[in-house]
Amino acid sequence: MKGSAPAAAGAGPAAAPFPAATTVPPRVPALHVHDVSVRFGDALVLDDVRFDLEPGHFLAIVGPNGAGKSTLVKVALGLITPQRGHAAIFGHDAGDAPERIGYVPQLKTFDRTFPATAVELVVSGIRRQWPVRVAQAERARAMAALVDVGAEGLADRPLARLSGGELQRAFLARALVREPDLVLLDEPATGVDFLAEHDLYDLLERYQARRGATVAMVTHDLAAARFHASRVLVLNRRLHGYGLPEDVLCDECLHEAFGHVGHRHAVAF
């Protein structure tokens, strides 16, 4: 599994006698998940999951409902402490480097009665606090982020008035405004009306090209995963496959992962 690292493969580690020019310094993985097991009560939700994601990749995490995908993301964010194992982001323990991560949550039941505008939401991504008032410079930065995701028109709209898709754009701007090295997205397009998925992939790929960032995204859309991702991870409690999309997204692997949960339909793509 480690062999799937991109650039490092050719250089070889035996470069000791010839330092400098020929050596490729060992790269710290963008996302390092080591031996992670998570249990909720009696339910083993993640079972000994381990993988390394090298920087610069676009990882799609797929698996049936209840497979533990969101749990894995939360372990990476430091929201859940696994019973065994650990996760690290660019060598920092999960939760220790929030400024390097841009997180886009699953469109969720956040409190729609909270009085806020999209700009404030984006500024919270800069400050990592809720703004009492938005300074001029922050507003300019937030606006630029909103423009990047095609949401400039939403800036001063109350969040409560945004559609699901508009909201996800605002959350995406919030995640990207801090220029993270790792963008973590949990089914950002599921159940969302207008944020066409290809549009989302476009945005992410542009951001990636600009910043050399790493993207890890939980998705239901296997076709998009095959087309856009450079790595795919198939998860159903255990890790059922990790590697190149064409290797991992084979019928067999998917059957193995999806089969016993009964989400056969997901295999047909």
Partner 1 sequence: MDGLFEILGFAFMQRALAAGLLVALMSGLLGTFVVQRRLSFLGDGLAHAAFGGMGIGALAVVTFGVLDAGGGWLRHPLWVALPFALLTAFGIAYVRDRTDLSSDTAIGVFFAVAVALGVLAFSRIPPDVNLGFNVMDLLFGSILAVRTTELTAIAVAAVVVVTTLGFVWGRLAYATFDDELARTDGVRARRLEYLLFLLAAVVVAVSAVVVGIVLMAAYLVIPAAAARLWSRSLAGTSVRAVAIGMTTTLVGVIASFYLDAPTGSAIILTQAAVFVAAIVLRRR
Ligand X SMILES: Nc1ncnc2c1ncn2[C@@H]1O[C@H](COP(=O)(O)OP(=O)(O)O)[C@@H](O)[C@H]1O
Residues that bind partner 1 (CB under 8 A): 77-79, 95, 98, 101, 103, 105, 110-111, 113-117, 120, 124, 127-133, 158
User: Using the rule CB under 5 A, is 70 a contact of Mg ion?
Assistant: yes
- Smallest gap, in angstroms, from Cβ of residue 264 to ligand X? 17
3-state secondary structure of 39: strand
Is the torsion defined by CA of 215, 267, 71, 233 positive or negative?
negative
Calpha distance 32→250 (Å, rounded) = 25
Give how far the C-alpha of residue 131 lies from the chain's centroid of Cα atoms, to the nearest Å. 25
Q: Which of 71, 117, 168, 214 binds ligand X (CB under 6 A)?
A: 71
CB 198 within 8 A of CB 169: no
Q: Which of 228, 217, 140 is nearest to 186 (CA)?
A: 217
3-state secondary structure of 44: strand
Q: Which of 67, 167, 215, 249 binds ligand X (CB under 6 A)?
A: 67
- Smallest gap, in angstroms, from Cβ of residue 40 to partner 1? 13
Q: Which is nearer to ligand X, 45 or 182 (CB)?
A: 45
CB count within 10 Å of CB 132 equals 7
- Smallest gap, in angstroms, from Cβ of residue 208 to partner 1? 21
- Which of partner 1, ligand X, Mg ion, none lies near 65, with the C-beta cut-off 5 to 8 A by kind? ligand X
**Residues within the interface to ligand X (CB under 6 A):** 40, 45, 63, 65-71
